[in-house]
Amino acid sequence: MYSGIFDLPWWGYIVVTLVLTHITIAAVTIYLHRHSAHHALDLHPLVSHFFRFWLWVTTGMTTREWTAVHRKHHARCETLDDPHSPQILGIGKVMWEGADLYKVEAKNRGTLERFGRGTPDDWMEQNVYTPHSVVGIAIMMIVDFVLFGFIGITIWAVQMMWIPFFAAGIINGVGHYFGYRKFEPNDPNDASRNIVPWGIIIGGEELHNNHHAFPSSAQLSNKWWEFDIGWMYIRIMEILGLAHVKKAMPKVVIDSAKSDWSACDIETLKTVLALRPLILAEFDRRMKKAVANFMVMRILRDNLEILWKLQDSREQLLAHLQRWCRDAMSSGNPQLLQFGQWLVGCRLKSL
């Protein structure tokens, strides 16, 4: 029986399979997701095209289709128009039929035209990758067979199932159904969850709630104890000159000279408006330590949330924020006082 060019021990085939599927995961999260769909980073043309080619032979997916489907998911999150919402379709449907849901939406010309702009449209895309997706998958099967023999067909089969299960099923399904939430995304319908705080198996996509809170960030981890392996790869590529990060997870710095509500200025307003999920998460974190005046805190939180819903002028929004900080800092509650001082002094840290 043909055993291929490489005759490995049983564990060697497992390692090879994990390495090959991990490269595919890296291609999806770095190239398709963070680079193409959200423009959070730029990639060197050689890296970008390697990922395009690798996805062609390991998944048959095209950049335009994946990008368009994902952008529509963000734009129509948890509605009837969401291509794969477990809140609408049920967790079982998305978990086990996620790949089919993707294929159906990828054939929607309206979705491609509206959400697929800015994706590669060169000769290779028009003449090879898009019209001959099956050819790429067949090439991968032949290569696996030549290298590893008949067990290479098993390796190939695992490669073909990896993205449909982990990306289409786990991320789109579990990532919007089970897990923990750190942030309230700007879309009130959004039910995204962080599955675990260590994003390794799915390249960092496990931190799904973080991503939906800050979709334009190339970094999916937010706290020091969260690990995003995709972000680690991006930082390494950046050091090597193969990537350029355009936007990362927002960080705030505190201007200690600004501690009174009257010091709340336009810079404060810009920071607060840009960081709604982070501001509300910080409020909730600090208020967990409070033991009294729950109703006052609830009213103040609701009044703070109104800020992002108002259509007023910048001056009116600033006046609203100043009044909120004044009320919080004069409430007599130490947690509200400290949060108000933090809010007045915070500003967005540049990348």
Query: Mean pLDDT in each 10-residue stretch from start to end of the chain (351 residues)?
Result: 89 97 98 98 98 97 97 97 97 94 96 96 96 96 97 97 92 96 93 96 97 97 95 98 96 88 92 94 86 79 93 93 94 90 89 62
| Integer Cα distance of 351 and 223 in angstroms | 16
> Torsion-angle region of residue 198: left (phi > 0), alpha (psi -120 to 50) or beta?
beta
- Kindly state whether residue 3 falls inside one of the protein's structural domains: no
- Kindly state whether residue 99 falls inside one of the protein's structural domains: yes
pLDDT at 3: 84
Q: Which of 199, 228, 245 is the last residue of a domain?
A: 245
Residue type, position 323, single letter: R
DSSP line for 177-210: TSSB-----SSTT----BS-SEE-TTTTTTBHHH
- Kindly state whether residue 213 falls inside one of the protein's structural domains: yes
By the 8 A CB rule, do 220 and 199 touch? yes
| Integer Cα distance of 64 and 106 in angstroms | 9
| Of 321, 289, 286, 329, nearest in space to 305 by CA | 321
Q: Which of 202, 222, 245 is the last residue of a domain?
A: 245
- Kindly state whether residue 134 falls inside one of the protein's structural domains: yes
Are both 183 and 266 inside the same structural domain? no
Are both 81 and 45 inside the same structural domain? yes
- Kindly state whether residue 4 falls inside one of the protein's structural domains: no
pLDDT at 291: 62
pLDDT at 8: 94
- Kindly state whether residue 157 falls inside one of the protein's structural domains: yes
Are both 20 and 106 inside the same structural domain? yes
- At which residue do the structure tokens 């159906």 appear? 104
- Kindly state whether residue 142 falls inside one of the protein's structural domains: yes
Are both 298 and 210 inside the same structural domain? no
Are both 241 and 284 inside the same structural domain? no
| Integer Cα distance of 186 and 65 in angstroms | 25
The tokens describing 132, both together, are: 């001959």
- Kindly state whether residue 112 falls inside one of the protein's structural domains: yes
Domain range for 269 is 252-348
Structure letter (DSSP) for residue 174:
G
Q: Which of 182, 215, 245 is the last residue of a domain?
A: 245
Are both 165 and 258 inside the same structural domain? no
**Over 313-349, what HEC string results?**
CHHHHHHHHHHHHHHHHCCCCHHHHHHHHHHHHEEEC
Are both 44 and 184 inside the same structural domain? yes
pLDDT at 17: 97
Are both 290 and 162 inside the same structural domain? no
Are both 286 and 318 inside the same structural domain? yes
- At which residue do the structure tokens 């998460």 appear? 281
The tokens describing 87, both together, are: 């809140």
| Integer Cα distance of 336 and 270 in angstroms | 21
Distances in whole angstroms, Cα of residue 77 to Cα of each of 125, 138, 212: 29, 35, 10
pLDDT at 263: 92
Cβ neighbour number for residue 16 with a 10 Å cutoff: 18
Q: How many separate helices (H) and strands (E) can be counted in the chain?
A: 17, 6
Total domains, the chain? 2
**Over 89-152, what HEC string results?**
HCHHHHHHHHHHHHHHHHCCHHHHHHHCCCCCCCHHHHHHHCCCHHHHHHHHHHHHHHHHCCHH
Are both 273 and 131 inside the same structural domain? no
| Integer Cα distance of 202 and 179 in angstroms | 15
Are both 211 and 273 inside the same structural domain? no
Are both 260 and 323 inside the same structural domain? yes
